[in-house]
Structure 1
């Protein structure tokens, strides 16, 4: 059986019962067609919905080990995500994922700023078991990282899982955009 590349994407939306496909769904579909990277996409509008989606991934999806990237598309402020008008800190997110993300890359879109201290980074990695956490220092609703840098990051990662080399290649290929969005990787 051929090795497949998977992304698990969770996106915060105002109402999960809304049928409207977001830009992220269209981008993930295009990534699957053009880059051969499959994805599972889930939405949530509450922290309980986020927990349910995470539990479904962990306990019901037999391909969980194949998901190397957990892609979180959540608005928010620095080191906080916003779900249903409530902010959750990076520490709360780490506790939610406690011990469940061994070897995974947790990647945040640029709908929120990721600006971790060494202590915050180490806490997140220690609690979750994640291999790395990445995101952006520049937040923008109009300049979405999903259209460009996220796609490049996913593609390069599945070509070469040496995370440092991936970041070097990202900057070689899209230096101006990486600098503009302030791509950050913590490991």
Structure 2
């Protein structure tokens, strides 16, 4: 396993001043322990906090090139994220990340629906430089996407070809992919 690829997770919380161990953090710790996939977990409660966390990663972390996946765990709609009851469109997020995600996969947990038109997806990829945007076509509250997220992250460690990753993901977890409607735009 190539252990030089990391995950940077930004999770929306109600208040960053209140320290809490979230299910996402526990999952990432388990992923590191069981599969050796290193990650950084940060919380944010505002768009400024999101931007600040990304800026710190970009300019202060000398291993940024090793972060293959930017994992966003936050609520929102088909074409938006929600922080502190404010909605930000994918276009606004693209401008926030302009040119900063070269070669990265931006992956959303199923706390938010990812339903982009081809034009919206292409705009986001062109503006940010990301290699892909992935997530789920359903916000199924009965099933967390964490299990499928973990399989996806593991496949990304071993494979660089996005088509192969998606094919392998569907082969290994077909029922979950269909249930959560896994999507990847590249």
Q: When the two structures are superposed, what TM-score results if normalisation uses the length of structure 2?
A: 0.97
Query: Are the counterparts in 2 of residues 5 and 36 from structure 1 also a CA contact under 8 Å?
Result: no
Q: Report the counterpart of residue 150 of structure 1 in structure 2.
A: 149
- The reply to whether residue 178 of structure 1 matches residue 167 of structure 2 is no
The Cα of 1:5 is off from its aligned counterpart by 2.5
Q: TM-score, normalised by structure 1?
A: 0.96
Partners of 1:105 and 1:133 within 8 A in 2: yes
Distance in 1, matches of 2:155 and 2:3, equals 16
1:55 aligned residue: 55
Q: For residues 21 and 3 of structure 1, do their structure 2 counterparts lie closer, same or farther at Cα, with a shift above 3 Å needed?
A: closer
Matched residue pairs, number? 185
| Conserved 8 A contact 2:3-2:36 | no
Query: Deviations along 1:78-128, whole A, 9 cap, x unmatched?
Result: 121110000001111111100000000000011111111111011000000
Specify the SS of the correspondent of 2:183: strand
Residue 77 (structure 2) aligns with: 77
2:92 counterpart of 1:92: yes
Runs of 4+ aligned residues of structure 1 deviating over 6 Å after TM superposition are: none
How far apart, in 2, do the equivalents of 1:116 and 1:129 lie? 17
| Distance in 1 separating the partners of 2:75 and 2:183 | 17
Distance 1:119 1:76 in 2: 19
Segments of 5+ residues of structure 1 without an aligned counterpart are: none
How far is 1:141 from its partner? 3.1
User: Could you tell me how far 1:17 is from its partner in structure 2?
Assistant: 1.1
- Deviation for aligned residue 1:3: 4.6
Match of 1:163 in 2: 162
* CA distances 1:133-169 after superposition (whole Å, capped 9, x unpaired): 00000103331101x1100000011011111101101
Kept in 2: contact 1:79–1:112 (CA 8 A):
no
Q: Assess if the C-alpha contact under 8 Å between 2:79 and 2:90 holds in 1.
A: yes
- Cα deviation code 1:39-68 (max 9, x no counterpart): 011000011101110100011011000001
Two-structure CA RMSD over aligned residues (Å): 1.0
CA distance in 2, matches of 1:88, 1:22: 23
